[in-house]
Amino acid sequence: MASDSVTVYLKNQTLQLDPDICETYDFPDEADAATNWVWNNNTKTLCQTINGKSAALFCGWDLDNATITGSFQVTDDANDDDWIGFMWGLQDTDHYYLFSWKRATQDFANCGGNLPAGMQVKVVDVADPMNTPQTCADRLQPADTANSKLLVPVGEFTTMGWTEATEYTFELTHKANGEMTIIVRLKANNNVVAMKTFMDTTYANGKFGMYTKSQINACFSNFVASCVP
């Protein structure tokens, strides 16, 4: 008799973002309106329909040494200029990585003051949720805070804001050694809008989810995941 082990690498696994089978979460520290995620099963598109709180939607699948691709856009900004993004390495709603993209610079007092246009990446790691709970500043302030660390500032990513009714694609790779790469492209011509590789070992793996803050009509679609060999 003999025994052996094999590693199976999955490729091109389509990910469903239906709120009926995924988990939705409104961050409780903000006083804005409750949010609402809507899934269109015909187009396989997920949209945020409320200009409300920081909100997340994440499903039961974990990404471990993986690449995920997808599309996102703000279909109609309703004269708004706020955040669209995604979370990964998500252990729970107090421990995760966050990519956020702001359309225009704005003074958001309850989120820590003047917040810049452009893309940034933070790692949120709340050590004491009872005595030092997570705040909007932890998620979006362009600096280290009590519960977060700024991994990639807008000056190292892009200071350009997103454009209404423009579809973008992204590719996120999170390797087991802590190396992460994010590439954002214009879907129409595949031109690179921004690209950044960086290192952090806080979370080796975790769930992936959508993120919006105060942005109506933020939509996500075509999510596919593959393991990194």
What gap in Å lies between CA 84 and CA 89, rounded to an integer?
18
AA letter at 1: M
79 band by pLDDT with thresholds 50, 70 and 90:
confident
pLDDT at 17: 81
pLDDT tens column, 153-207: 999 999 999 999 999 999 999 999 999 999 999 999 999 999 999 999 999 999 9
Q: Is the pLDDT of residue 67 over 80?
A: yes
Report the Cα 81 to chain-centroid distance in Å: 17
Cα-flanking dihedrals φ and ψ of residue 49, to 5°?
A: -105, 0
Residues 6 or more apart in contact with residue 130 via CB below 8 angstroms: none
Q: What is the mean pLDDT of residues 66-78?
A: 93
Q: What is the mean pLDDT of residues 44-68?
A: 92
Mean pLDDT is lowest, of 10-19, 48-57, 199-208, for 10-19
Looking up tokens 């960086």 gives: 198
130 band by pLDDT with thresholds 50, 70 and 90:
very high
pLDDT at 2: 72
Q: Is the pLDDT of residue 6 over 60?
A: no
What gap in Å lies between CA 145 and CA 38, rounded to an integer?
32
What gap in Å lies between CA 219 and CA 46, rounded to an integer?
5
